[in-house]
Amino acid sequence: MAIVSESKKKSSCSGRKRPNPNKGKTVRKAELKSKLVKLSDRRGFIAKVELRAPACSNHGKTDRPVKKFQRHFRCQGMDRAQMMLSSLEMSIRPKLYDRQKINEEKVDEAAERQKVCNRIETWTSELVMDVSKIGKEKKFDVEIFLEYVLKNQSVEIVYLHGATPLLQEPLFEKLLQVLQKQTLWSLNLGELKFSKSQLERLKSSLELSCVTHMFYECDGTQLKDVLRDITRANRTKHSRWKYGDDHTHNKVVQDLNKNWFNPHSHTCNKEHEWHAKMPRTHRRKLK
């Protein structure tokens, strides 16, 4: 008759593996599966938690089915049930919980970014981009808008009025990068109040840019005169603010507004043959 050791008699495990003294004991970590079960009598929700039992410490992982221990938490409302499950997951598997949260945030951010990009592509054109078509008071949306402007190789007019996140330093740096685009010649910065240091940097960047028409709400006439002098000097750098032979370009110049001085009001544009071909109603508005 085979002799059975005392350690195997006391153990209730039916595994076939013998313990290896040279190898560390393998203990299965607790795994969590959470579900929300809606009650039929409308009393709320039950948070159902299934915890797998750890494997035998003497024989490691075995082929026997792992026992499951169920815990039920009755709670009123979906929010309360999800909060209880989240706290339980965080207490049992904190590292996995953190990784799942980070992945969920990345997925949500990618989805929101795609929504903003689709809105920009739908409601703006390659030549004229308006921040009012998105959430201009949201930092996330304004940042994506500036990135989209920087990638656009043919943008000429940008409306940034009311985009208050531009007052923050990271986005203000991107605004200065937008000013250096060679295709940009009209900029609207209405409803914004930059600091003194930001205004000085804005002036320096504006002098190096090709912006010929802009708008900014100034408290005094001195700042307004300085900015207008800079834009007037920039009109000698190019002639994109004038009417030409391109019908699409002339339509953009014709419809441009919200500047200190709109380009279709210039004498050279009024004397152009494109101005004579415009409808009488539009010519009446210009006077």
pLDDT tens digits for 243-267?
A: 988 888 888 898 888 899 899 888 8
Rg of the chain (C-alpha set): 34
Q: Indicate whether 225 belongs to any domain.
A: yes
Q: What is the pLDDT of residues 213-231, one digit of tens each?
A: 999 988 777 889 999 999 9
φ/ψ of residue 50, rounded to 5 = -110, 120
Q: Which residue has the higher pLDDT, 101 or 139?
A: 139
For residue 7, being part of any structural domain is answered with no
Report pLDDT for 273. Answer: 79
Map tokens 């013998």 to a residue: 18
Q: Are residues 209 and 141 in the same domain?
A: yes
Q: pLDDT band for position 109 (50/70/90)?
A: confident
Do 41 and 141 lie in a common domain? no
pLDDT at residue number 222: 87
pLDDT at 11 over 50: no
Q: What is the residue range of 76's domain?
A: 36-92
Question: Which pLDDT belongs to residue 74?
Answer: 55
pLDDT of residue 202: 94
Average pLDDT of the residues in 46-57: 49
Q: Is the pLDDT of residue 39 over 50?
A: no
69 and 177 assigned to the same domain: no
Instruction: Kindly tell me if the per-residue pLDDT of 189 is higher than 90.
Output: yes
Q: How many domains is the chain partitioned into structurally? A: 2
- 0.85 surpassed by pTM: no
pLDDT for position 257: 86
Residues 142 and 235 in one domain: yes
Task: Judge if 136 and 236 occupy the same domain.
Answer: yes
Residue with tokens 């948070």: 47
Confidence of residue 68 (pLDDT cuts 50, 70, 90): very low
Evaluate whether residue 267 is within a structural domain. Answer: no
pLDDT at residue 30 above 50?
Answer: no
Report the distance separating Cα 200 and Cα 173, nearest Å.
13
> Does 81 map to a domain?
yes
Specify whether 71 is located in the same domain as 128.
Answer: no
In terms of average pLDDT, the best of 9-13, 141-145, 262-266 is: 141-145
Determine what percent of the chain is predicted with pLDDT higher than 70. Answer: 62
Q: Residues 149, 226: one domain?
A: yes
Average pLDDT, the chain: 75
User: Is the predicted pLDDT of residue 90 greater than 90, yes or no?
Assistant: no
Geometric angle at alpha carbon 124, from 120 and 127, rounded to 5°: 125
Q: Which of 68, 92, 116 is the last residue in one of the domains?
A: 92
- Judge if 53 and 135 occupy the same domain: no
Tokens (6 digits) for 257:
């507004």
Report the candidate in 147, 143, 33 with the shortest Cα–Cα distance to residue 88: 33
Residue pointed to by tokens 């410490």? 57
Cα distance between residue 24 and residue 60, in whole Å: 10
- The whole-number average pLDDT for the span 50-62 is 49
Q: Is residue 3 part of a domain?
A: no
Task: Assess if residue 264 is contained within a domain.
Answer: no
